[in-house]
Amino acid sequence: MNREPEEFGVRLETASAWQLTWQRFRRHKLAVVSLILLGFLYLVVLLADFLATADPNRIDASRAYRPPQPIHLLDDGGFNPHVHPVSGEWDHRIFRRVHRTDPDRRLPVRLLVRGYEYEFLGLFPTSLHLMGVEGEAQALSLLGTDGLGRDLYSRLVHGTRTSLTIGLAGVVLSLVLGVVLGGISGFYGGRVDTLIQRVIEILLSIPTIPLWLGLAAAMPRDWGVLRVYFILTVILSLIGWTRLGREVRGRFLVLRQEDYVLAAELMGAGRASIIRRHLVPAITSHVIATATLALPAMIIAETSLSFLGLGLRPPAISWGILLQGAQQVQVLALRPWLLAPAVPVVAAILAFNFVGDGLRDAADPYSRRT
């Protein structure tokens, strides 16, 4: 006789697969911290314009290569955040612009001030920004400025938006290709499998950068920012899908032999229903983990290509384009703050790696591995 446990007066707590995954993921402390960091970075992606203190494209030669400006929090013992105004002057003796701080004047830094106009989340126009100097947005340069006097902090915030979304878009596209082709390869086997595996092997044995360079160089110079962005995503995912395809195929091959799949077959379940009900849920977490681990490669690729001038092009702003400004060591030695965009690049790559590791360890909640 089959009786439910409740009939014995026992209440059973059940946890879904996702709850178990989450419980195990939480044990990986570094992964949790990284997840929070990534959440923060994608918040920056959403709110880039709001967080920026100045128009990232506004050129002002008199502000070229301004060093980072500290915000003083205290004033005469009271809390009054302010900056000292900086003025740049060309010094004919050293052939360089020299920026002088005026320690007597104080410009108050306030929260929620009006600045340049933008569309909030593409919904409505506004000019509200998180912080800045009221009425004089250009007076504040948290991370200094570049050679054209554009505010590096504001550009960095906008570059984060581009670089993190292009990686995501590339991974989503690779995911579609990888899951479809890897799934077909693993489920049907035979000749299709052999063909797809050969293609993957060939793609993996080609050095990627010459290939990317070739494809990127093929993009006409007069294409708009959006079009280049889109094509670059496609180029990145052309290679990126191979690893995902292998992972999915491997999983399918293993799962096909599982007892519960055999049981489902014996109970007369159709192929489509087996794939949908049993195989897809079982590989989802692995696919997500692999995709997370594929993201850093995408970010590195975009950054490297843009850095060489073959990826995104100005007026687009991305981490790679910002690092282009730091290409000359002689320039860099005098203005080390130009290297600031390297910090989010490294942080994002590491964070995606840790989260991916954590997800991979947690992906199979029913295995006994801890």
Partner 1 sequence: MAAYLRRRLLQAALTIWAISIISFVLIELPPGDFVTSYVDRRASQGIPLPPDEVQVLRVRYGLDQPAAQRYLIWMGRLLQGDLGVSWIRGQPVSEIISDRLWLTMAVSLAAILFTWAVALPVGIYSAIRQYSAGDYLFTLLCFAGVGVPNFLLGLLVMYLGFVWFDADVGGLLSARYVDAPWNAAKLWDLIQHLPLPALVLGTGGTAYMIRILRANLLDELSKPYVLTARAKGLSEVRLLLRYPLRVALNPFVSTAGYLLPYLVSGSIIVSMVMSLPTVAPVLLSALMDQDLYLAGTLVLLLGILTVVGTLISDLLLLRIDPRIRFRGTS
Residue numbers at the binding site for partner 1 (CB under 8 A): 198, 201-202, 204-211, 213-215, 217-220, 296, 300, 303-304, 307-308, 310, 323, 326-327, 329-330, 332-333, 336, 339, 342, 345-347, 349-350, 353
Closest distance between partner 1 and the C-beta of residue 247, in Å? 15
Closest C-alpha to 141, from 77, 58, 74: 58
Residue with Cβ nearer partner 1 (220 or 315): 220
Residue 32: count of CB within 10 angstroms of its CB: 15
Closest distance between partner 1 and the C-beta of residue 213, in Å? 6
Closest distance between partner 1 and the C-beta of residue 198, in Å? 7
Residue with Cβ nearer partner 1 (57 or 353): 353
For residues 339 and 322, what is the distance between their CA atoms, to the nearest angstrom? Answer: 9
Residue with Cβ nearer partner 1 (301 or 317): 301
Residue type, 20: L
Residue with Cβ nearer partner 1 (266 or 333): 333
Residue with Cβ nearer partner 1 (52 or 156): 156
Closest distance between partner 1 and the C-beta of residue 58, in Å? 27
For residues 250 and 262, what is the distance between their CA atoms, to the nearest angstrom? Answer: 18
Closest distance between partner 1 and the C-beta of residue 340, in Å? 12
Closest distance between partner 1 and the C-beta of residue 307, in Å? 6
Closest C-alpha to 134, from 100, 109, 163: 109
Closest distance between partner 1 and the C-beta of residue 333, in Å? 5
Closest distance between partner 1 and the C-beta of residue 37, in Å? 12
Residue with Cβ nearer partner 1 (278 or 335): 335
Residue with Cβ nearer partner 1 (310 or 316): 310
Give the dihedral of Cα atoms 37, 40, 42, 44; nearest 10 deg.
-130
For residues 203 and 205, what is the distance between their CA atoms, to the nearest angstrom? Answer: 6
Residue with Cβ nearer partner 1 (98 or 346): 346
Closest distance between partner 1 and the C-beta of residue 331, in Å? 10
Residue with Cβ nearer partner 1 (15 or 343): 343
